[in-house]
Amino acid sequence: MTTTAEPSLLVGDTAPPAPTAQTTTPARSPYLVGRLYDWAFFLLPPLLSLLLGALIAGTEFGEKRLWHDGRKLTGAALLTGTLTHAHLVAVFFRSHGNTALRRRHPLRFFLVPPLLFAAMMLSDEVALCTTVLVVLWDVYHSSLQTFGLARIYDRNQGNPPDAGRKLDLWLNHLLYIGPILGGATMLAHVSNLESLDALGDTLFSAIPAQMEARHRTITWTVIATGVAFLAYYVVASLRLRRRGHRTSPQKIFLLVSTGLCSLFAWGFNSFGQAFLIMNVFHAVQYLALVWWSEGKRLRQRLRLDRAQVGAPLTIALFLGSVLAYGYVAEMAQIEARVLWSIAQTVALMHFWYDGFIWSVRRKEV
């Protein structure tokens, strides 16, 4: 998600001019890791998460609010928040845990985080702006995770890394952000802008009220734009196919299932568990991606690579550490300034780091 190139979870720095679709390379395995791993952790999670939302709808876990560590929240909200923060901090296993990446970006990894943390600790204005930025950047970032996975599946068919890239980029924005803007959860995503009123801002703080008043118009605009773009996407994809582009069934399944999940969750909030549905599958996909990328290196660093139970023990330590952080970060109150500032710093670094440490075009994955 750099500002100098089209951003993505898995695409970062500016690449050389894109080759044409005719210059396809020999196809590799159609999967990122393997059939079972991909279906369990990358392809099926959106639909399984939607099913989870349906199963807990109306239950005590999903509806009953209980006092927990000074906060009143549902079990579903606690699960959602814990998983969200857990996947955010997992990026540090890739950024700070990978020697090659540490050497490549020392200032970004070791100077920027403490400076950002200090700014939030010292300035209420910075802390408030950071809160708003985290919410908005999270929406943008989340749509790019599916985009990144889709590009891997497209590459694995032997297609050039830039062929159809812009089409997939905008399709993922449409599938993820479209239902938010035009759906039932729009106000929940932009309501934080109202807090900027405390800084004397009258432009951005008025956006939630303006969007609510024009929600019907926004909805129909999103629908019309979406239908037109989907038609264009199909036509453009057929043209690419005629030029030799190989279609990835895994990519198609991922895009369709994620789009349906986003529509039912963000668009209609059908089961009243939109945030749980979308955040659970996003977190599962990301944790699985980090484990695949860094699991072996982590086992070696812990000197468990030769132990008989090395892999299970390393997985337990990996998941246990990020989930423990996730719980603490979720329960951190704004009054607990240190914990809250750490959580905000981790979130922003996650969004930023993902933009340049994963790259299909630079063969980082």
In angstroms, rounded to a whole number, what is the distance separating the alpha carbons of residues 75 and 70? 14
- Quote the DSSP letter at residue 34: -
CA nearest neighbour of 318 among 343, 298, 338: 298
Residue 12: pLDDT over 90? no
Report the pLDDT value the prediction gives residue 201, as an integer from 0 to 100.
63
In this structure, is residue 45 part of a structural domain?
no
Mean pLDDT, the chain, integer = 86
Report the pLDDT value the prediction gives residue 179, as an integer from 0 to 100.
92
Report the pLDDT value the prediction gives residue 146, as an integer from 0 to 100.
93
Domain tally, the chain: 1
**Structure tokens belonging to residue 86:** 């857990």
In this structure, is residue 26 part of a structural domain?
no
What is the length of the chain?
A: 365
**Structure tokens belonging to residue 5:** 């190139």
Name the least confident of 6-15, 235-244, 282-291: 6-15
Report the pLDDT value the prediction gives residue 209, as an integer from 0 to 100.
83
In this structure, is residue 346 part of a structural domain?
yes
Degrees (nearest 5) of the Cα angle 299, 305, 308?
Answer: 120
Report the pLDDT value the prediction gives residue 361, as an integer from 0 to 100.
62
Greater confidence (287 vs 359) lies with 287
Mean pLDDT throughout 304-320? 89
Report the pLDDT value the prediction gives residue 11, as an integer from 0 to 100.
37
What digits encode the pLDDT tens for the residues 123-179? Answer: 988 988 898 899 889 999 998 899 999 999 999 999 988 899 999 999 999 999 999
Per the CB < 8 A criterion, the answer to whether 282 and 145 are in contact is yes
Greater confidence (331 vs 173) lies with 173
Name the least confident of 174-188, 265-279, 351-365: 351-365
In this structure, is residue 32 part of a structural domain?
no
Residue 8: pLDDT over 50? no
In this structure, is residue 200 part of a structural domain?
yes
Q: Which residues pair with 68 in a beta bridge?
A: 71
Report the pLDDT value the prediction gives residue 309, as an integer from 0 to 100.
84
In this structure, is residue 15 part of a structural domain?
no
In this structure, is residue 75 part of a structural domain?
yes
Total Cβ atoms within 10 A of residue 181? 20
- Quote the DSSP letter at residue 252: H
Per the CB < 8 A criterion, the answer to whether 83 and 283 are in contact is yes
pLDDT interval class at 16 (50, 70, 90): very low
The listed range with the strongest mean pLDDT (93-102, 301-310, 321-330) is: 321-330
Q: Which residue range is the domain that position 227 belongs to?
A: 54-357
Q: Which helix (H) or strand (E) holds 68?
A: strand 66-68
In angstroms, rounded to a whole number, what is the distance separating the alpha carbons of residues 275 and 330? 14
HSE, side-chain direction, 13 A CA sphere, residue 210: 8
What digits encode the pLDDT tens for the residues 24-48? Answer: 555 578 999 999 999 999 999 999 9
Report the pLDDT value the prediction gives residue 318, as an integer from 0 to 100.
96
Report the pLDDT value the prediction gives residue 20, as an integer from 0 to 100.
46
In angstroms, rounded to a whole number, what is the distance separating the alpha carbons of residues 106 and 143? 28
Name the least confident of 67-76, 98-107, 164-173, 286-295: 67-76
Mean pLDDT throughout 336-355? 92
In this structure, is residue 21 part of a structural domain?
no
In angstroms, rounded to a whole number, what is the distance separating the alpha carbons of residues 130 and 316? 32
What digits encode the pLDDT tens for the residues 234-286? Answer: 999 999 999 999 999 999 999 999 999 999 999 999 788 999 999 999 999 99
